[in-house]
Structure 1
């Protein structure tokens, strides 16, 4: 089976000068080999690095329209991310990428809790043009969300309707969805 969509993963790391083979990178490689879902991986340690990476993808990659999922693996809290000990709100992130994420699903790994009010999520979606924003209500240090993330990414390849994706995800992985408190705002 040939897939047409890709995942763009951006991982927050303490220092981009230090080359480390992260768990995220290893799991994305596994996703490509086992499930034929391609991805581009970048890391960043500052908000400027985040902006540069997404801008390069947007303006330099002729296949940007094929990236269905923007996968962010970054620490933070409910309505923010943390890079290099600085916190940036999702409102600030939305304004950086105003109108640039049309039709994309922005998905956060469980390194941060995603707990948005309906106004916060709607603002992010309206400003960026994203199709949905998803993540987890619980930051679980002992359990990585990568296994549920991989299943979620596979469903995003198969289905277009975000409600169907969430229903299927809960049907097949109810215990893990419940434990990590999977959330999707659309």
Structure 2
């Protein structure tokens, strides 16, 4: 399956999920995230979900990290839609967020974090293949982000769907992830 076909098919599959299906899968995903070893991480970048696209809601996970791993700093991003780059900010409890024109929650007046400080990234995605090639929305934000990170950064993803066998049309700038969390299990990729 090529990238465009996979993007369209899995975007439609996610759109067609019912609210009860999403709620059930969110609970299962949360269990997968809780079972992962987060020790050794100081700065954890985590996306904030776009509700209208039925992305997994990461806020319960972020709150769980704050409660269970108080030494981990949560980092979130602001999107620059002209450069297709992300800037990274420390997320503090009860800090204000505002939605940008595309519906993405973003920090307000938060301290900026150097990308080199980030130890692990939890990225949104539609689907991934067994080699770790991820399909997002096609703008390349996370590929640029991963390219700017330290080589040892943990590249993690969240999807409602299990990895597919192979995605065709992967480009040299497409950076694979190493782990994907799904409702049915956590998969090591590559």
**TM-score per shorter chain, which class?**
0.3 to 0.5
Asked which structure has the greater RCO (Cα within 8 Å, sep 6+), the reply is 2
